[in-house]
């Protein structure tokens, strides 16, 4: 029985290389060099290679094979790296792709580590082609679904690389737009599995900025995002105008309550019982409630502009109310101030009626 066990140990030692000559056990002598080749212009990525001792010398990774280490190659830095292995003989190398990789998965490769004194190191080369890639299509339209030109978008991270903190700027028919149609912007060769935020940074002339959208490419298809812009109105009267001319109000009463027009969160309930005319007298203040007062002052003016037949305002009543309700519900001062600033711009577009409600310049 002892003889059988001893022979078994001898057999295992021969397979794994335990009984190689002393010179062969110097680990620094056994080297596997791995080369990585990607297409010219392809995205730079990090590749990891698992190196296994092929115990049964069958050219595949299976039960009993020993993982001796990993090799990492970042193609942005180098296309070659190496590993020192403990034994001569057969190995199998498996490539691991990064999540969302742009490249095809390659088959495992087998290699033989020779005697370095006569043959040098073992070398293997992994040549990757681009795998499944997706497309992002951006449609830029107005409220009537008519195409709009000259918009600029920023996609974060860059969908072609997926690198954190990177971005891709796309300008309609000018920069990184692979579609020549006005109002249609196309980005190809987008990585699968990453989530991007698409933000309109420059709207078409005469239009407001559409809110950002997120997109996750889950297959090699085209994902279409539609960004709808609202035309800036050419007219708008200030809160001061409406405060001083309550007789010109249309559709709203001076004693109507703020809480009957807008959805006021519980945290801002002190404002709910104020009247619309009181809102036009708000002076702002600190904190979220101060920002809410500023917003409501301009929101009431916006409603009066939108409801007056001789004021060509940018937004409708419903759009104003919905936007204000969302901003207030956020309880975020920056979000509230952002909408206030937008309405402030619209309310200062230029008043189209005089103190008697008559159209100016024959409008």
The string of pLDDT tens digits covering residues 196-249 is: 999 999 888 878 888 999 998 877 688 999 999 887 777 999 999 999 999 999
Residue 130 has pLDDT above 60, yes or no: yes
CA distance 47 to 310: 65
Number of domains present in the structure of the chain: 3
Mean pLDDT over 98-115 rounds to 86
Q: Which of 36-50, 149-163, 237-251, 349-363 tops mean pLDDT?
A: 237-251
Last residue of a domain, one of 229, 262, 277: 229
What is the per-residue pLDDT across 64-95, written as a single tens digit (0 to 9) for each? 999 999 999 999 999 999 999 999 999 999 99
Least confident range from 33-37, 186-190, 215-219, 341-345: namely 215-219
Mean pLDDT over 28-46 rounds to 85
Token couple for 347:
């309310």
Pair 110, 14 in one domain = yes
Which is higher by pLDDT, 131 or 267? 267
For the chain, give the percent of residues with pLDDT over 70. Answer: 90
**Confidence band, pLDDT 50/70/90 cuts, at residue 324:** very high
Which is higher by pLDDT, 41 or 92? 92
Pair 105, 140 in one domain = no
Pair 122, 218 in one domain = no
Last residue of a domain, one of 104, 127, 150: 127
Strands of 89-96's sheet, edge to edge? 66-74, 46-53, 89-96, 109-113
What burial letters (b/e) apply to 252-263, b meaning 16+ CB within 10 Å? Answer: beeebbbeebbe
CATH of the domain at 199: 2.60.40.10
Q: Is residue 282 part of a domain?
A: yes
Interhelix angle 333-347/287-307, rounded to 10 degrees, is 30
Non-local (6+) Cβ contacts of 125 within 8 A are 34, 35, 36, 37
Q: Is residue 363 part of a domain?
A: no
Mean pLDDT over 307-336 rounds to 92
Q: Is residue 353 part of a domain?
A: no
Pair 205, 291 in one domain = no
Pair 205, 117 in one domain = no
Q: What's the Cα-to-Cα distance from 337 to each of 199, 301, 332, 334, rounded to whole Å?
A: 19, 16, 9, 5
Q: Is residue 166 part of a domain?
A: yes
Token couple for 276:
């619309």
Interhelix angle 317-330/287-307, rounded to 10 degrees, is 170
In degrees, rounded to 5, the angle at the alpha carbon of residue 158 between the alpha carbons of residues 153 and 160 is: 120
Instruction: Tell me the whole-structure pTM to 2 decimals.
Output: 0.45
Pair 256, 198 in one domain = no
Mean pLDDT over 312-321 rounds to 88
* H-state helical runs in the chain: 2-16, 239-244, 258-261, 276-279, 287-307, 317-330, 333-347
Q: Is residue 341 part of a domain?
A: yes
Instruction: Please report the pLDDT score of residue 100 as a whole number.
Output: 64
Q: Of 173, 180, 223, whose CA–CA distance to 198 is shortest?
A: 223
**Confidence band, pLDDT 50/70/90 cuts, at residue 333:** very high
CA distance 191 to 216: 9
Name the residue range of residue 210's domain: 134-229
- Cα 236 from chain centroid? 36
Least confident range from 155-164, 173-182, 236-245, 272-281: namely 155-164
Pair 138, 118 in one domain = no
Pair 169, 201 in one domain = yes
Last residue of a domain, one of 179, 195, 229: 229
Residue 140 has pLDDT above 50, yes or no: yes
CA distance 205 to 148: 9
DSSP per-residue letters across 190-210: EPTT-EEEEEEEEPPTTB-PP
Instruction: Please report the pLDDT score of residue 361 as a whole number.
Output: 66
**Strand intervals (E) in the chain:** 31-37, 46-53, 66-74, 80-84, 89-96, 109-113, 122-127, 134-142, 152-156, 168-171, 184-190, 195-202, 213-216, 222-229
Residue 156 has pLDDT above 80, yes or no: yes
Q: Is residue 352 part of a domain?
A: no
Token couple for 133:
């890639």
Instruction: Please report the pLDDT score of residue 231 as a whole number.
Output: 78
The mean pLDDT of the chain is 87
**Confidence band, pLDDT 50/70/90 cuts, at residue 14:** very low
Instruction: Please report the pLDDT score of residue 102 as a whole number.
Output: 73
Q: What's the Cα-to-Cα distance from 339 to each of 151, 177, 329, rounded to whole Å?
A: 21, 30, 13
Non-local (6+) Cβ contacts of 206 within 8 A are 231, 232
Pair 270, 207 in one domain = no
Residue 298 has pLDDT above 60, yes or no: yes
Residue 39 has pLDDT above 80, yes or no: yes
Instruction: Please report the pLDDT score of residue 285 as a whole number.
Output: 84
Pair 143, 221 in one domain = yes
Pair 270, 333 in one domain = yes
189 φψ region: left (φ > 0), alpha (ψ -120 to 50), beta (else): left
Q: Is residue 354 part of a domain?
A: no
Q: Is residue 356 part of a domain?
A: no
Pair 225, 244 in one domain = no
């Amino acid at each position: 029985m002892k003889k059988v066990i001893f022979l078994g140990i001898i057999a295992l030692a021969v397979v794994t290389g335990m009984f190689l000559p002393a010179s062969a056990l110097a680990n620094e002598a056994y080297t596997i060099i791995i080369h990585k080749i990607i297409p010219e212009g392809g995205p730079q990525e990090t590749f990891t290679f698992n190196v296994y001792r092929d115990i049964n010398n069958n050219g595949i990774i299976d039960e009993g094979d020993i993982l001796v280490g990993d090799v990492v190659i970042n193609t942005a830095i180098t296309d070659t790296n190496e590993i020192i292995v403990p034994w001569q003989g057969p190995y199998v190398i498996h490539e691991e792709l990064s999540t969302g990789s742009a490249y095809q998965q390659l088959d495992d490769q087998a290699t033989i580590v020779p005697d370095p004194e006569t043959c040098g190191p073992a070398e293997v080369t992994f040549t990757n082609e681009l795998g499944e890639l997706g497309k992002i299509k951006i449609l830029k339209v107005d409220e009537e679904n008519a195409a709009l030109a000259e918009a600029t978008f920023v996609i974060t991270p860059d969908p072609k690389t997926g690198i954190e903190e990177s971005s891709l700027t796309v300008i309609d028919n000018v920069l990184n737009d692979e579609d020549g149609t006005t109002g249609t912007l196309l980005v190809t060769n987008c990585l699968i599995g990453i989530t991007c935020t698409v933000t309109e940074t420059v709207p078409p002339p005469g239009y407001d900025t559409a809110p950002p959208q997120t997109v996750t490419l889950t297959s090699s298809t085209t994902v279409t995002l539609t960004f709808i812009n609202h035309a800036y109105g050419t007219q708008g009267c200030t809160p001061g105008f409406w405060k001083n001319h309550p007789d010109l109000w249309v559709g709203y009463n001076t004693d109507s309550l703020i809480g009957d027009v807008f959805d006021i969160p519980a945290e801002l309930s002190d404002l709910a019982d104020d009247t619309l005319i009181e809102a036009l007298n708000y002076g702002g203040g600190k904190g979220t409630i101060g920002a809410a007062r500023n917003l409501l002052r301009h929101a009431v003016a916006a409603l009066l502009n939108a409801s007056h037949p001789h004021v060509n305002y940018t937004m409708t009543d419903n759009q104003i109310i919905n936007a204000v309700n969302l901003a207030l519900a956020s309880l975020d001062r920056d979000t509230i101030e952002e909408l206030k600033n937008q309405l402030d711009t619209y309310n200062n577009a230029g008043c189209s009626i005089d103190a008697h409600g008559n159209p100016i310049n024959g409008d």
